[in-house]
Homo-oligomer: A and B are copies of this chain.
Amino acid sequence: MSELKGAMIIGQSGGPSSVINSSCYGAIKAGLDSDVITKVYGAANGIVGVLNDKLYVMDEEDPAELEIMRYTPSSALGSCRYKIADPDVDDTDYKKILEIFKKYDVRYFFYNGGNDSMDTCNKISKYMNKVGYDCRVIGIPKTIDNDLYGTDHCPGFSSAAKYIATSIVEVYQDSHVYDKGQVTIFEIMGRHAGWLAGAASLANVTGFGPDLVYLPEVDFNMDEFIEDVKAIWEKNHNVIVAVSEGIHYADGTFVSEAKTSATDGFGHAQLGGLASRLADVVKNAIDGVKVRPIEFSLLQRCAEHCASQTDSDEAFMAGQAAVNEAIKGATDKMVGFKCTRDANGYKCETELLDLAKVANYEKKVPVEWINERGNNVTDEFIKYALPLIQGEIKMKWENSLPRFVKLKKVVAK
């Protein structure tokens, strides 16, 4: 493969995570270190920044400050949820992107995100190929949902998993403090895939974990849920429940959105109110019980102070690999992880996957990893997830508060 000199763009897209900036920094650093890449641009708010001709010149940033990106949560370049059109239907955006690529001599395009971002990446890759513009396009995976196809896991998932498991171990101490006991219900992100809700079960490794875990991979049955909670309550006078926000009834209706009877006080519930909703159901089912709904909300995807060092390192590796493989000639790919878990421990290597195969598929928790009753995960899940949360993060503190990156963001002209 011949050497391709030119500039690179890196963009971040979708919901952020604790380590997406670590990937981004890995890519930026590899770009800055390379003789082939002439300039490193960061797209302001993902593909929207390309469309609006708003690119930050990363070469202008102070290297020491830039390095702090590695331990800064969320997307430092800004993100977007822009849905790019099918180029066969409307190629306006693609023409604009091509124009910008030509303007800045962009020969490398890296896109850091989840399912939708890989779809965007795939479409841009195919378009550039079709119009014969020589540009290498690589996707860098990111999603706390862990639902990207073809890769062992996704950067971002592991840190969210560590935060959730850690917080449950801690709240377990709190919720067991009174002799009266309580039911605690955690609401966890994951609309269609239950990886993060399953991660709650990692807390059981410490002896202080949830009794019940509900994933969207199986249908939710409210009567069985009440039965399960009641049974544990009668035995222990304390119940800890973890539920995915995406749990749904057999007919597909989300439990968080289902219209219920007038007697429970709900009309059409707000999204995100699932834990409170289930708390009310439990209160009605068990006389005088104290119930605490806890929603992790945004905290679970940006809690850098409780991120997994393994996750951060792997994210960085994925960003670096994207750029280094592109320089060597790779294009139209996503960086994935190939991992082994055996007697020698855990090992993780990057590999390249076809963008077309990755885009728009959702990887769910295997049903074999969910117990028969559908109210917990099996040991297989723990074996899978425990290596991913290893290592306490080496983030920077200043005044004993997080010291996050402050970029100059010099806009390219």
A-side residues, CB < 8 A to B, are 16, 45, 48, 72-76, 78-81, 162, 165-167, 169-171, 173-179, 184, 202-203, 205-208, 265, 267, 270, 273, 276, 292-295, 297-299, 301-306, 308, 386, 389-392, 397-404, 406
Contact B299 A401 (CB under 8 A): no
User: Residue of B at shortest CB range from A309?
Assistant: B400
Complex interface: chain B residues within 8 A of A397 (CB): 392
CB <8 Å contact, B301 and A174: yes
Q: How distant is A375 from chain B, measured CB to nearest CB, in Å?
A: 22
Q: Once the chains bind, are B404 and A174 in contact (CB under 8 Å)?
A: no
23 A–B contacts from the bound complex (CB under 8 Å) = A16-B174, A45-B178, A73-B170, A73-B173, A73-B174, A74-B173, A74-B176, A74-B177, A79-B178, A80-B179, A165-B401, A166-B305, A170-B302, A170-B402, A175-B298, A205-B399, A206-B403, A292-B298, A294-B297, A294-B298, A294-B299, A391-B400, A392-B397
Question: Considering the chains assembled together, what is the distance between the CA atoms of A273 and B299 in angstroms?
Answer: 18
The 5 A-B residue pairs with the shortest CB-CB distance, nearest first, are A74-B173, A174-B302, A170-B302, A79-B177, A390-B400
Q: Distance in Å from the Cβ of A180 to the closest Cβ of chain B?
A: 9
Residues of B within 8 A of A171 (CB): 298-299, 302
Q: How far is the CB of A305 from chain B (nearest CB, A)?
A: 5
The interface residues of chain B lying within 8 Å CB-to-CB of A292 are 297-298
A267 — which chain B residues lie within 8 A by C-beta? 265
Known contacts A297-B292, A399-B205, A401-B202; decide if A74 and B16 are in contact (CB<8 Å): no
Q: How far is the CA of A150 from the CA of B402 in the complex (A)?
A: 32
For residue A75, which residues in chain B have a CB less than 8 angstroms away from its CB?
A: 177
The one of B80, B167, B301 in contact with A299, judged by C-beta atoms closer than 8 angstroms, is: B167
Contact status A306-B308, CB under 8 Å: no
Contact B400 A389 (CB under 8 A): yes
Set of chain B residues within 8 Å of A48, measured between Cβ atoms: 179
- Distance in angstroms from A33 CB to nearest chain B CB is 26
- For A173, A205, A270, the residue with the greatest tally of chain B CB atoms inside 10 Å of its CB is A173
Q: Is the CB of B74 within 8 A of A166?
A: no
B174 pairs with A74, CB closer than 8 A: yes
Residue of B whose beta carbon sits closest to that of A54: B179
Q: CA separation between A207 and B399, bound complex, in Å?
A: 12
Residue contact B401 to A45, C-beta cutoff 8 Å: no
| Given A174-B16, A276-B273, A401-B205, A179-B45 contact (CB < 8 Å) | yes
Q: Determine whether the beta carbon of A304 is less than 8 Å from that of B170.
A: yes
A404 touches B173 (CB 8 A): yes
* Given known contacts A81-B178, A179-B45, A398-B206, A302 and B403 CB-to-CB distance under 8 angstroms: no
Q: Which of these, B169, B297, B404, contacts A169 with CB under 8 Å?
A: B404
Asked whether A169 lies within 8 Å of B401 as measured between CB atoms, the reply is: yes
| Interface contact A16-B79, CB-CB below 8 Å | no
Is there contact, CB below 8 Å, between B303 and A167? yes
**CA A282 to CA B400, docked complex, whole Å:** 33
Contact of A208 among B173, B306, B390, B404 (CB under 8 A): B404
Nearest opposing residue in chain B for A386, CB measure: B399
Q: A206 touches which one: B175, B179, B273, B404 (CB < 8 A)?
A: B404
The distance from the CB of A65 to the nearest CB of chain B, in whole angstroms, is: 13
User: With a CB–CB cut-off of 8 A, which chain B residues contact A302?
Assistant: 170-171, 173-174
| Contact residues in B for A303 (Cβ distance below 8 Å) | 167, 170
Output the residue of A79, A177, A304 with the most chain B CB within 10 A: A177
| C-alpha spacing A174/B295, complex, angstroms | 16
Chain B nearest CB: distance from A138 CB in Å? 22
Give every chain B residue within 8 A of A295 (Cβ-Cβ): 294-295, 297
Instruction: For A81, list chain B residues within 8 Å (CB).
Output: 178
A50 CB to nearest B CB, Å:
13
In the assembled complex, which residues on chain B have CB atoms less than 8 Å from the CB atom of A202?
Answer: 401
Contact call B299/A299, Cβ cutoff below 8 A: yes
